[in-house]
């Protein structure tokens, strides 16, 4: 049996003003507590419409789930429910669009083996850093060592000339990358480049974890407004009225404070996950799932990319430029640059179905596919038909906890499909 988790949900908590006007909350039925779900829990009894006070942001982003911001991820509690409902310890779950690794981390926490695929180099780096088993003592020493060396290298200088002397002495290369020069103040860029130099040259075992600290810091240190860190359109170089803080703010001119803050936060989060981690296997592969040969699996839990909505490479452009990662956005499924025309949607259906057909081939009869998607264009019934799966249920979930400038609410669907004996024989072609 999967091991239970602590009940972190409150009961009899009040509605927010936003929640009061949404009919789905009006009956005040208690939302499902993930740790109470078993294989015998009826689907119709699940209430996935968590209010903010039922499931606060701190719990939605527990331990390594918040190791680095990632737009478009699903919450681990949703994954936990369907792992408990449809999987057992020591089985293997596949996520062919693993993104930031939510399914993989949550599966390990519950003793389920997992394998994830993603076409994005950054997503693979992040998923591996989250799911890796660390020697906490060594990780602490390496994070502290890198931070101390960066402090001595960049925080004791009295003028830019001293930094240039030290950089030349250590052979820290300058950069001619136009993106980095445009989006960072010279002081902040110096600090980021120095930290990158340390990662590359100090022989750290956990260099990928340090790269995540660097990337997260680079995200915060850009010349942008505090309220628009997801997709800033242009560098912000002058003071501005800040909608987040309701005052005039200035763009940041340093990166060290973020590297310091996120070093401490990263260590705390991997320590928290280490206390929950099981011996279940986790594997992350950098590959296009349309062409991958999946190993034997027991089922799938995934949230596929949206069609024409999110540029999954562009949201981490700073990491691609700073870390020298290969940009494969033209090969994405449903890339934002192609929009959401009828042609783009049809190609999206064919591509997603191609992935799921490969997954179905890799699983035994009766295996489950749990797909979480915001299907406003009603594309997933057609995808199910192309895959030849049995449609067991479709659950709808209201999402209203997005914050700041991206506070719009929306509904997402959980498609519950199953492989039957004649799945592939009855499937339509997915090779368009």
Q: How far apart are CA 227 and CA 204, in angstroms?
A: 34
Beta strand spans in 280-359 (E): 282-286, 297-302
Full set of structural domains in the chain with CATH: 17-123+277-426 (3.40.50.150), 136-273 (no CATH)
Does the pLDDT of residue 402 top 70, yes or no? no
Q: What is the pLDDT of residue 27?
A: 54
Residues whose CB is less than 8 angstroms from the CB of residue 28 and which lie 6 or more positions away in sequence, other chains included: 15
Residues whose CB is less than 8 angstroms from the CB of residue 303 and which lie 6 or more positions away in sequence, other chains included: 72, 73, 74, 97, 99, 102, 371, 372, 373
208-250: per-residue pLDDT in tens?
999 999 999 999 999 998 888 877 889 999 998 888 888 899 9
Residues whose CB is less than 8 angstroms from the CB of residue 405 and which lie 6 or more positions away in sequence, other chains included: 227, 228, 243
Q: What is the pLDDT of residue 311?
A: 78
145-192: per-residue pLDDT in tens?
999 999 998 887 554 455 566 666 666 667 889 999 999 999 999 999
* Ramachandran bin of 251, using left for φ above 0, alpha for ψ from -120 to 50, beta for the remaining angles: beta
Of 56, 46, 45, nearest to 16 by C-alpha is 56
Q: What is the pLDDT of residue 7?
A: 39
Q: Which residue has the higher pLDDT, 285 or 305?
A: 285
Q: Which residue has the higher pLDDT, 123 or 376?
A: 123
pLDDT band at 73 (very low <50, low <70, confident <90, very high): confident
Q: What is the pLDDT of residue 1?
A: 45
Q: How many Cβ atoms from other residues are within 10 Å of residue 327's Cβ? A: 14
pLDDT band at 309 (very low <50, low <70, confident <90, very high): confident
Q: How far apart are CA 152 and CA 116, in angstroms?
A: 39
Q: What is the mean pLDDT of the chain?
A: 87
What is the share, in percent, of the chain residues with pLDDT greater than 90?
Answer: 66
Q: How many Cβ atoms from other residues are within 10 Å of residue 28's Cβ? A: 10
Residue by residue, DSSP assigns 338-370 as: GTT-HHHHHHHHHHHHHHHHHHHHHEEEEEEEE
């Amino acid at each position: 049996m999967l091991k239970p988790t602590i009940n972190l949900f409150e009961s009899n908590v009040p509605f927010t003003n936003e929640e009061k006007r949404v009919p789905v909350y009006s009956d005040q039925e208690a939302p499902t507590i993930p740790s109470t779900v078993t294989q015998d829990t009826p689907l119709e009894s699940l209430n996935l419409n968590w209010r903010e006070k039922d499931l606060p942001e701190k719990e939605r982003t527990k331990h390594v789930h918040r190791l680095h911001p990632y737009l478009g991820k699903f919450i681990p509690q949703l994954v936990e429910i369907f792992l408990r409902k449809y999987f057992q310890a020591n089985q293997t779950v596949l996520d062919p669009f693993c993104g930031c690794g939510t399914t993989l981390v949550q599966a390990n926490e519950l003793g389920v083996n997992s394998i994830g695929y993603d076409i994005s180099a950054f997503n693979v780096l992040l998923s591996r850093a989250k799911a890796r088993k660390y020697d906490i003592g060594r990780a602490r020493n390496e994070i502290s060592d890198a931070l101390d060396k960066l402090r001595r290298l960049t925080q004791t200088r009295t003028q830019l000339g001293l930094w240039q002397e030290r950089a030349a002495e250590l052979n820290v290369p300058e950069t001619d990358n136009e993106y980095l020069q445009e989006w960072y103040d010279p002081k902040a860029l110096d600090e980021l480049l120095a930290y990158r130099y340390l990662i590359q040259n100090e022989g750290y075992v956990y260099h990928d974890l340090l790269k995540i600290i660097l990337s997260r810091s680079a995200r915060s240190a850009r010349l942008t407004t505090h309220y628009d860190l997801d997709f800033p359109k242009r560098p912000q170089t002058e003071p501005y009225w800040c909608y987040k803080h309701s005052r005039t703010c200035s763009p940041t001119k340093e990166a060290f404070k973020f590297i310091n803050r996120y070093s401490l936060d990263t260590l705390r989060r991997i320590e928290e996950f280490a206390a929950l981690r099981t011996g279940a296997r986790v594997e992350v592969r950098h590959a296009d799932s349309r062409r991958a040969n999946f190993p034997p699996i027991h089922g799938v839990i995934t949230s596929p990319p949206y069609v024409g909505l999110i540029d999954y490479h562009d949201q981490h452009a700073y990491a691609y430029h700073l870390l020298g990662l290969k940009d494969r956005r033209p090969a994405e499924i449903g890339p934002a640059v192609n929009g959401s025309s009828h042609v783009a949607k049809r190609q999206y259906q064919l591509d997603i179905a191609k992935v799921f057909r490969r997954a179905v081939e890799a699983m035994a009869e009766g295996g489950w596919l749990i797909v979480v998607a915001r299907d406003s264009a009603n594309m997933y019934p057609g995808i199910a038909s192309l895959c030849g799966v049995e449609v067991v249920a479709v659950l709808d979930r209201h999402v209203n906890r997005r914050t700041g400038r991206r506070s719009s609410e929306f509904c997402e669907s959980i498609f519950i499909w199953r492989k039957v004996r004649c799945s592939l024989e009855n499937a339509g072609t997915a090779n368009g």
